[in-house]
Structure 1
Amino acid sequence: MKYLKKYKIPFSGLSAGKHNFEFDVDDAFFACFDHSLVKKGKLIAQVQLQKQENMLITNFDINGHITLTCDVCLREFQAPLSTKERVIVKFTHDEWDQDSDEIIVLSHNDYEFDISNLLYEYINVCVPHYPKCSEQGENIDCDPEMLQQLADEETVKNELKEDQVDPRWEALKNIKNN
Structure 2
Amino acid sequence: MKYLKKYKIPFSGLSAGKHNFEFDVDDAFFACFDHSLVKKGKLLANVQLQKRENMLVTNFEITGHITLTCDVCLREFQSPLDIKEKVIVKFTHDEWDQGSDEIIVLSHHDYEFDISNLLYEYINVRVPHYPKCSEQGENLDCDPEMLRQLASEDAIKNELKEDQVDPRWEALRNIKNN
TM-score (norm. length: structure 1): 0.97
Aligned match of 2:121: 121
One-letter code aligned to 2:30: F
Aligned match of 1:68: 68
Give the CA RMSD over aligned residues.
1.0
Determine whether 1:56 maps to 2:56: yes
Aligned match of 2:106: 106
Determine whether 1:15 maps to 2:25: no
Q: Structure 2: give runs of 5+ residues left out of the alignment.
A: none
Q: CA deviation at 1:47?
A: 0.1
One-letter code aligned to 2:106: L
Aligned match of 2:89: 89
Aligned match of 2:154: 154
Any idea what the Cα deviations from partners look like across 1:62-101, whole Å, max 9, x if unmatched?
0001000000000100110100000000000000111300
Structure 1 segments of 4+ aligned residues over 3 angstroms from their partners:
173-178
Aligned match of 2:170: 170
Q: Determine what percentage of the aligned residue pairs are the same residue.
A: 89
Distance change in 2, residues 1:157/1:10 (3 Å): same
SS at match of 2:121: helix
Determine whether 1:2 maps to 2:33: no
Q: Structure 1: give runs of 5+ residues left out of the alignment.
A: none
Q: CA deviation at 1:145?
A: 0.8
Distance change in 2, residues 1:147/1:113 (3 Å): same
Q: Which moved more, 1:56-65 or 1:95-104?
A: 95-104
Q: CA deviation at 1:159?
A: 1.2
Q: Which moved more, 1:157-166 or 1:29-38?
A: 157-166
Distance change in 2, residues 1:177/1:45 (3 Å): closer
Q: CA deviation at 1:176?
A: 4.5
- Inter-partner Cα distance in structure 2 for 1:177 and 1:133: 49
Q: Which moved more, 1:93-102 or 1:56-65?
A: 93-102
